[in-house]
Structure 1
Amino acid sequence: MGQWLYRNIIEPGKLPLLLALTAFVMTFLVTRTVTRLIRAGRGPFGNVKAGGLHIHHVVPGVVLTVIGGFGAVASGRQGFGAALAAVLFGIGAGLVLDEFALILHLADVYWTEEGRRSVEVVVLTAALVGLLLAGFVPFGVNDLTQDELQDRGTVVATVVSNFVFSLVALSKGKARTALFGAVVPVLALVGAVRLARPGSPWAKRFYRSRPRARARAGLRAYHHDRRWAGRARAFQDWIGGKPDPARLPDRR
């Protein structure tokens, strides 16, 4: 284990990234545990307030992210300073992204359906950083040989082609595939060649006069969502807590 850690993490200079990812995940898990206890009225925890103002944990998260980011720039990639900056950055990022939905909607949607977006963003971030730790490099540069890396034309062509595939997948309404495809290019290629999701920019542009393609895209999306949407929601509820039931409008 020690040899693997040195060879794959310490020697390539990835220790700060590992520390940041560990701090990020642990901060998110601890934060969600505390907020769920507050929601249930258990334990000694409570919302932080100053003069009647509820201080969301995104506020200290932003402060820690700024300190950790500038600390990492100032300290370089080695030594105790770099490790400390990485931990502070990971903690800050965990606090910020746990309330990503609040920032997106500019409203306290933590325990609503919209709040699921925070859990989704945290999971995606952790997965992408994990791929970087595993040795993946964006846009497939890590798949090139040493001889190919010496040829700038090959490098540029590889980056541009993989970027285009990711862009096409994104235009087809497959944001997750496009995001992971930037790190694992084969996913971007798969997302680029498959049918677009209904309502996506690609579908609106190219399926407008193709009813059969429109129908096939709708059927594929229906079966995909029916198979995976429920599982994704159950996983999000297990990690971040189940949202509050939606309130029906008062029609009196």
Structure 2
Amino acid sequence: MPGSGALILLAFSSLVVVLLLVLLQLTRLGFIVRSTIPDRPRRRMFIASVSFLITFAGVRLLVRMITHNHGPFNWVVVRGHHIHHLVWGILILLLVGYGWLLDLGRSHSPLSIFFSRLMSVSYGAGAALTLDEFSLWLNLDPNDYWSREGRMSIDAVILFGSILAVGAWGAPFFRGLQIMWSKRGVFRKEIGRLETPIRRARLLRPRRARRSPPRTWH
């Protein structure tokens, strides 16, 4: 099934972009990101780092499955030429750069904010696709994809650097996430201490402000 690996890779990269956009736009995690991390440049760097980490790990898994003949995946060959996945990464980076030349994602309108997040996620995915085949930057021999031991060391360094970048740029997000879960745990603990359903209902019922009796003047 020639080219199936490229289709799976393209589908995976698109899925990463869509999933991160949905998390940022429609979930509680996205609210924590927006409320704890400043937009430019820290939030963009955090989003790009997360996208890079997920895409790079997925690409490594797919390449390993192809090289070990697991699944119906294969390399992309067009007229006898092996099309490496760094090509897709370069194209994505070119599109992101062109979008930033057009000043997309600079204003505070909903559409501009969406483009800002889209380009941040796309930049991380494109960088992962390109850096995964960094050896081809220096040596154009398509058979030179580094030895297994050297490749594993490079993978470990890149993955560790990605996790470090996510932790550095997203430190306020993780603190907000910890606060959210700690508050939820305290709330559940207090609810569990109540003895009867009636007491639970009384505690959870919104309290009304007591009105003071009118003063009488003598």
Shorter-chain TM band? 0.5 to 0.7
Alpha-carbon spacing, 1:72–1:7, altered in 2? closer, same or farther (3 Å): same
- 2:45/2:120 contact within 8 Å kept: yes
The answer as to 2:80 corresponding to 1:44 is no
| Aligned structure 1 segments of 4 or more residues deviating by more than 6 angstroms | none
SS at match of 1:75: coil
- 1:72/1:81 contact within 8 Å kept: no
Tell me the CA shift for residue 52 of structure 1. 1.2
The answer as to 2:158 corresponding to 1:130 is no
Q: Using the TM superposition, name which of 89-98 and 103-112 deviates more.
A: 103-112
The answer as to 2:148 corresponding to 1:119 is no
- How do 1:28-107 residues align onto structure 2 when only pairs under 5 Å count? 28-73=56-101, 74-77=103-106, 79-107=113-141
Name the % identity: 31
The total of aligned residue pairs comes to 136
The answer as to 2:43 corresponding to 1:15 is yes
Q: TM-score w.r.t. structure 1 length?
A: 0.46
- 1:100/1:118 contact within 8 Å kept: no
- 2:50/2:162 contact within 8 Å kept: no
Q: Distance in 2 between matches of 1:5 and 1:101?
A: 35
Q: Distance in 2 between matches of 1:45 and 1:55?
A: 14
SS at match of 2:37: helix
Q: 1:81 is matched by which residue type in structure 2?
A: F
Across the aligned residues of Structure 1 and Structure 2, the Cα RMSD in angstroms comes to: 2.9
Tell me the CA shift for residue 116 of structure 1. 4.5
2:33 — aligned with what? 5
- 1:101/1:114 contact within 8 Å kept: no
Unaligned 5+ residue runs, structure 1?
A: 136-252
Cα displacement string for residues 211-242 of structure 1 (whole angstroms, at most 9, x for unaligned residues) = xxxxxxxxxxxxxxxxxxxxxxxxxxxxxxxx
Q: 2:135 is matched by which residue type in structure 1?
A: A
Q: 2:158 is matched by which residue type in structure 1?
A: V
- 1:101/1:110 contact within 8 Å kept: yes
Q: Distance in 2 between matches of 1:65 and 1:125?
A: 20
Q: Distance in 2 between matches of 1:49 and 1:26?
A: 26
Cα displacement string for residues 88-138 of structure 1 (whole angstroms, at most 9, x for unaligned residues) = 211110001111122233334325144346425523642563365147xxx
2:16 — aligned with what? none
Q: Distance in 2 between matches of 1:125 and 1:66?
A: 24
Alpha-carbon spacing, 1:131–1:105, altered in 2? closer, same or farther (3 Å): farther
Q: Distance in 2 between matches of 1:103 and 1:121?
A: 18
Q: Distance in 2 between matches of 1:11 and 1:114?
A: 37
Q: 1:129 is matched by which residue type in structure 2?
A: A
Q: 1:75 is matched by which residue type in structure 2?
A: L
Larger radius of gyration: 2
- 1:102/1:115 contact within 8 Å kept: no
Tell me the CA shift for residue 45 of structure 1. 1.0
Cα displacement string for residues 51-108 of structure 1 (whole angstroms, at most 9, x for unaligned residues) = 0111111111111111112323421445111111112211110001111122233334
2:201 — aligned with what? none
- 2:105/2:114 contact within 8 Å kept: no
1:150 — aligned with what? none
Q: TM-score w.r.t. structure 2 length?
A: 0.52
